[in-house]
Structure 1
Amino acid sequence: MIKARIIVTLKTGVLDPQGKAIEGALGNLGFDGVGQVRQGKVFDITLEADDAEGARTRLSDMCEQLLANTVIENYSIEFA
């Protein structure tokens, strides 16, 4: 079994209204000095695979088909 973490973030230049709302809320709560906030998604996946390269290929396919909207989002794959 291989454990992986997939991190999905918006591409640079894509508007992030949720991140902007979080940024404003942090300021309203008294957290000064907070710069730009961008939100994303994290997926922790346990996968049956013989090797990391095969797992990476399958995980990338999952991202391309379901987990990320690759028009506006980037993703990265990390192994635990």
Structure 2
Amino acid sequence: MARVVVDVMPKPEILDPQGKAVLGALPRLGFSGVTDVRQGKRFELEIEGELTDDVVEQVRQMAETLLSNPVIEDFEVHVEEHSVAEVAASEGR
């Protein structure tokens, strides 16, 4: 089973009030040196069967039509080598 990840972020020209709130909170919590924060979404899709170029293209279409709002968000699709469950199992969690 393969995992395909879709990362969705607001486009650079779109205001990000959640990111600004995090940026404002960091110094109050004692963290310094952060100059900007953008908050987005991450979708992890477990895919059964072989991960072909056609399957990755279908995930890209899912991202464009459902997982993101292309008017105000950009997205990236990438394949993870190991699922989180596999990593946790190999670390004995």
TM-score by length of 1: 0.91
Q: CA deviation at 1:73?
A: 0.4
Supply the AA of the counterpart residue of 1:26: L
What's the C-alpha RMSD, in Å, of the aligned pairs?
A: 1.2
**How many residues were matched structurally?**
80
Structure 1: which 4+ aligned runs deviate by more than 4 Å?
A: none
Question: Paired residue for 1:72?
Answer: 72
Against the structure 1 CA distance between its residues 74 and 15, is the aligned structure 2 distance closer, same or farther, given a 3 Å change threshold? same
Amino acid at match of 1:57: E
Q: How far has the Cα of 1:50 moved from its partner?
A: 3.8
Deviates more, 1:44-53 or 1:29-38: 44-53
Which one has a larger percent strand, Structure 1 or Structure 2? 1
Larger radius of gyration: 2
| 2:8 aligned partner, one-letter code | V
Secondary structure at the aligned position of 1:62 is classed as helix
Aligned CA distance change for structure 1 residues 40 and 6 (closer, same or farther; 3 Å)? same
Distance 2:26 2:19 in 1: 11
Unaligned stretches of 5+ residues in structure 2: 81-93
Matched-pair contact (CA < 8 Å) for 1:49–1:55: no
Could you report, residue by residue, the CA deviation over 1:35-57 in whole angstroms, capped at 9, with x for unpaired residues?
A: 10000000110123544311221
Give ranges in structure 1 of 5+ residues lacking alignment.
Answer: none
1:46 counterpart = 2:46: yes
